Amino acid sequence: MEQCDFSVSHAFHVVGIYRVPLLMPSPGSLRIQTLAFSEPNLLPPSSDLRSNFVEFFSVQIMVSAMDLKEHKFVVAGLLFFVTLVLAKIVAAVLAPKSRKRLPPTVAALPVVGGLLRFMKGPIPMIREEYAKIGSVFTVNIINRKITFFIGPEVSGHFFKAPEAQLSQQEVYQFNVPTFGPGVVFDVDYSVRQEQFRFFTEALRVTKLRSYVDQMIVEAEDYFSKWGESGTVDLKYELEHLIILTASRCLLGREVRDKLFDDVSALFHDLDNGMRPISVIFPYLPIPAHRRRDRARARIAEIFSTIIKSRKSSGKSEDDMLQCFIDSRYKDGRPTTEGEITGLLIAALFAGQHTSSITSTWTGAYMLSYKKYLTAALEEQRGIMRRHGDKVDHDILSEMDVLYRCIKEALRLHPPLIMLLRYSHDDFTVATKDGKEYDIPKGHIVATSPAFANRLPYIYKDPNTYDPDRFAPGRDEDKAAGAFSYISFGGGRHGCLGEPFAYLQIKAIWSHLLRNFEFELISPFPENDWNAMVVGVKGEVMVRYKRRKLSIDN
Ligand code: HEM
Quick: pLDDT tens for 402-453: 999 999 999 999 999 989 899 999 999 999 999 999 999 999 999 999 999 9
Task: Kindly state whether residue 527 falls inside one of the protein's structural domains.
Answer: yes
CB-side exposure of 444: number of CA atoms within 13 Å? Answer: 31
Say which residues have a Cβ less than 8 Å from residue 388's Cβ, sequence separation at least 6. none
Quick check: CB of 493 below 6 Å from ligand 1? Answer: yes
Of 94, 126, 158, which residue is a domain's last?
Answer: 94
Tell me which H or E stretch contains 422: strand 419-423
pLDDT greater than 60 at residue 67: no
Residues 181 and 86 in one domain: no
Q: How many CA atoms lie within 13 A of 212 on its CB side?
A: 22
Within-domain flag for 158? no
446 lies in some domain: yes
> Is 80 exceeded by the pLDDT of residue 76?
no
Note whether 85 and 221 are same-domain residues. no
Distance between Cα 388 and ligand 1 center (Å): 33
Cα 4 to Cα 43, 99, 186, 306: the distances in Å are 32, 58, 30, 21
For the chain, give the percent of residues with pLDDT over 90: 70
Domain co-membership, 75 together with 186: no
Ligand 1 touching residue 535 (CB < 6 A):
no
Other Cβ atoms within 10 Å of 454 Cβ, number: 17
Q: Is residue 72 part of a domain?
A: yes
4-8, 295-299, 350-354: the lowest-pLDDT one: 4-8
Annotated binding site: 495
Comparing CA positions, the residue from 413, 404, 410 lying closest to residue 470 is 404
Strands 144-149, 444-447: parallel, antiparallel or unpaired by DSSP?
parallel
Most confident of 142-146, 208-212, 254-258: 208-212
Determine contact, residues 297/281, Cβ cutoff 8 Å.
no
Same domain, 352 and 450: yes
Number of domain units in the chain: 2
User: What is the spatial distance between Cα 281 and Cα 285, in angstroms, rounded to a whole number?
Assistant: 9
- Measured CA to CA, the distance from residue 167 to residue 36 in angstroms comes to 25
Q: Say whether both 192 and 321 belong to one domain.
A: yes
In angstroms, rounded to a whole number, what is the distance separating the alpha carbons of residues 294 and 150? 41
In whole angstroms, what is the distance from residue 93 CA to residue 78 CA?
23
129 and 137 Cβ atoms separated by less than 8 Å: yes
Among 495, 527, 533, the mutation site with the greatest number of ligand 1 atoms within 8 A of its Cβ is 495
Nearest to 7 by CA among 497, 353, 278, 298: 353
Distance 8 CA to ligand 1 centre (A): 14
**Cα–Cα distance measured from residue 8 to residue 351, given in angstroms and rounded to the nearest whole number:** 9
User: What is the predicted pLDDT for the residue at 438?
Assistant: 96
Residue to mutate, 8, 12, 187, 405, ligand 1, most ligand atoms under 8 Å from C-beta: 12
Q: Is the dihedral of CA 477, 480, 482, 486 positive or negative?
A: negative
Q: How far is the CA of 377 from the centre of ligand 1 (A)?
A: 29
Any ligand 1 atom below 6 A from CB of 497: yes
Residue 50 pLDDT:
39
d(CA 352, CA 276): 20
State if residue 510 touches ligand 1 by the CB under 6 angstroms criterion: no
Q: Answer yes or no: are the C-beta atoms of 278 and 174 closer than 8 Å.
A: yes
Q: Half-sphere exposure (CA, 13 Å, Cβ side) for 103? A: 31
539 with 412, same domain? yes
Domain boundary among 40, 74, 94: 94
75 and 181 co-located in one domain? no
Q: What is the CATH number of the domain that holds 305?
A: 1.10.630.10
Average pLDDT over residues 81-90: 58
**CA-to-CA distance for 5 and 502, rounded, in angstroms?**
23
Pair 59, 187 in one domain? no
Three-state DSSP class for 275? coil
73 alpha-carbon distance from chain centroid: 41
Query: Mind listing the pLDDT tens digit for each residue in 396-411?
Result: 999 999 999 999 999 9
Beta bridge partners of 167: 422
List, in order, residues 6 or more apart from 365 with CB less than 8 Å away: 372, 405, 408, 409, 465
Residue 365 covered by a domain: yes
Q: What is the DSSP letter of 94?
A: H
The answer as to whether 511 is a domain residue is yes
What number does the ligand 1 atom closest to the CA of 352 have?
27
Inform me whether the pLDDT recorded for 77 exceeds 90: no
Show the domain range for 533: 175-546
Determine which of 2-16, 105-119, 479-493 has the lowest per-residue pLDDT on average: 2-16
Q: Are 419 and 452 in contact (CB under 8 A)?
A: no
Which of 94, 110, 129 is the last residue in one of the domains?
94
Going by CA atoms, what residue is nearest to atom 29 of ligand 1? Answer: 497
Determine, yes or no, domain membership for 40: yes
Higher pLDDT, 54 or 155: 155
Nearest-angstrom CA–CA distance, 79 and 101: 34
Query: Is 114 inside any structural domain?
Result: no
pLDDT band at 81; cut points 50, 70, 90: low
Task: Determine if ligand 1 sits within 6 Å of the CB of residue 196.
Answer: yes
